[in-house]
Structure 1
Amino acid sequence: MSWLILVIAGLFEVGWAVGLKYTDGFSRFWPSLWTLLSMIVSIWLLSVAMKVLPVGTAYPIWVGVGAIGTVVLGIVLMGEAVNALRLVSILLIIVGIVGLKISSVS
């Protein structure tokens, strides 16, 4: 269950990372509210997952899920560049996440 909670925490990290773009420096109410709530939920879920998972596994996976999701949404929503180096870099993050999961004792 802690792994599912960790992935959900990572998805909320994506929500606040992308949300920051829409807050316009926290000058827009609804995007700012969503971003702040996503931050709180993300950190809280990460802390719940870390009750069971080691910090050296949970934190990098949380960051990795957030990074991958943010890059994908940047491409899809904001028209950011897609090129071979970016795709290979995302693949390397995925390999790292899988490696951490496989090597974890929890």
Structure 2
Amino acid sequence: MLPLLEPEVVPCCPPLAERPLTAEEAERTAVMFKALGDPVRLRLFSAVASHEGGEACVCDISDVGVSQPTVSHHLKKLKEAGLLSSERRGTWVYYRVEPAVLAAMGQLLTKAAGA
């Protein structure tokens, strides 16, 4: 079974304290933060990131207080922002946070060396 096509995960930017972001870097970063700026999306992202094995079936993370179509909408927004990838297995879709995404987010918010 082939995985669904996903956006390429590209490390965004240097640490925010290292230098001012370029317009392109700011645009990419804003997309990521905008996707995480919704409490339901942040909960879904956290549920996937912290799930045992590093991936979660939508059936295991959909209890966030909104309808299933709304959960699907939020997961789609997280995928479009490059924060999640997914794979369909039978009737279920499994989501994962790529390690490069977490590393890039961590790097972005890390104080530059010597600063």
More strand by share: 2
What TM-score comes out, normalization by structure 2 length? 0.28
Normalised to the residue count of structure 1, the TM-score between the two structures is: 0.30
> More relative contact order in 1 or in 2 (CA 8 Å, sep 6+)?
2
Which is helix-richer, 1 or 2? 1
